[in-house]
Amino acid sequence: MTTSTRDRGEEHADPRVRRTQAALRATLIELVQHRDLSAISVADVAERAGVSRSTFYDHYRDVHELAAAACTAMIDELIEAIPGGPPGPDAADPSGAKTDTLLTFFAHLAEHAGLYRSVLGPRGSARVMEHVRHRATVAVYAHRTATGVPDLTADTPHDVPAAFTAGALLGVATDWLHRGCPSSPAEVAARTLPLLTTLYREELG
C-alpha cells in the first residue's frame, strides 16, 4: 500500500498537503454526523472532498486512520476537561471546580453528539477508541501525580486509579450518547461526580 505522507513526515512540508488533509478531515467529520463510520468508504470521502482515491491514499491508509486524525484535535480538547486529581472537600458542591469540569466534559460531548456517537459506538473505530482511552488515561495520570501539563502522546506507568477513571468516564459518556443523551449535561455530571469522589476517598483511605 502507498506510504502515507504522515509516515514520511511531510504533512508540514507543503501547504498543499495540509490543505488536502484538512479537507479530508472536514469531509469525514461532516459525513460521520449522518451515518456510522463503518458505512463510510474511502470513495465516499474522496468524492465529497473532490479528490481522487489515489490522493486519499497518499495521505491516509484507510477511513479509520483518517478518523483518528480528524478527531484528534476534538478528542484532545475533550480530554482536557477530564478531572484528574482527588476531589477536594468541596467536591460535592455543585458550584465547585470539579462539577464545572465534568459539566464542560459532558457539554462538549453533547455539542458534538453525532460525531462521538458514531466514532465511539459499537460500529465505530477501535483505533479511535483506543486513542481516546490512552489519552484520557495519560491526562488523568498527569493530574493525579501533579506532573504538569500532560504529554498526551506519552506512555505512563500502570496506574489503576487513572485507568479506572478514564475508563469509567468514557463508559458513562458512551452509554449516555447512545441513549440519546436522556439527561442534561448538568444532570449526568452531577450523578457521575459522587462516583469519582468515592473512588478517591477509598484510595486515600
Give the angle 51-33-187 at the CA atoms, nearest 5°: 150
What residue numbers bound the domain in which 28 lies?
A: 15-61
**Residue 93 shares a structural domain with residue 159:** yes
**Residue 132 shares a structural domain with residue 194:** yes
Helix (H), strand (E), coil (C) string for the chain: CCCCCCCCCCCCCCHHHHHHHHHHHHHHHHHHCCCCHHHCCHHHHHHHHCCCHHHHHHHCCCHHHHHHHHHHHHHHHHHCCCCCCCCCCCCCCCCCHHHHHHHHHHHHHHHCHHHHHHHHCCCCCHHHHHHHHHHHHHHHHHHHCCCCCCCCCCCCCCCHHHHHHHHHHHHHHHHHHHCCCCCCHHHHHHHHHHHHHHHHHHHHC
Q: What does the pLDDT read at residue 90?
A: 42
**Residue 116 shares a structural domain with residue 199:** yes
CATH code of the domain containing 55: 1.10.10.60
Alpha-carbon Rg for the chain, nearest whole angstrom, is 19
Contact 63, 28 (CB under 8 A): yes
Rounded to an integer, what distance in angstroms lies between the CA atom of residue 118 and that of residue 165?
A: 22
**Residue 56 shares a structural domain with residue 138:** no
Nearest to 198 by CA among 170, 168, 175, 171: 168
**Residue 99 shares a structural domain with residue 198:** yes
Reading the chain (205 residues) residue by residue, the pLDDT tens digits are 444 555 444 445 688 898 999 999 889 888 887 887 888 999 999 999 999 999 999 999 999 888 878 777 677 766 665 554 434 434 444 345 566 778 888 998 888 787 788 777 777 777 778 877 888 788 777 777 766 656 666 777 888 888 888 888 889 999 999 899 999 999 999 998 888 777 766 554 4
Q: In the structure grid, which three cell numbers stand for residue 116, read together?
A: 462521538
Q: Indicate the pTM of the whole model.
A: 0.67
Q: Please give the C-alpha separations between residue 102 and each of 54, 99, 133, 138, in angstroms, as whole numbers.
A: 42, 5, 17, 17
**Residue 39, amino acid:** A
In a domain, 147, yes or no: yes
In a domain, 38, yes or no: yes
Q: What does the pLDDT read at residue 204?
A: 43
Q: What does the pLDDT read at residue 135?
A: 80
Rounded to an integer, what distance in angstroms lies between the CA atom of residue 50 and that of residue 40?
A: 16
Q: What does the pLDDT read at residue 7?
A: 46
Number of neighbours of residue 133 by Cβ within 10 angstroms: 14
- The single residue listed with the C-alpha cell 455530571 is 189
Domain count of the chain? 2
Rounded to an integer, what distance in angstroms lies between the CA atom of residue 41 and that of residue 186?
A: 36
**Residue 57 shares a structural domain with residue 115:** no
**Residue 171 shares a structural domain with residue 80:** yes
**Residue 40 shares a structural domain with residue 110:** no
Rounded to an integer, what distance in angstroms lies between the CA atom of residue 189 and that of residue 99?
A: 7
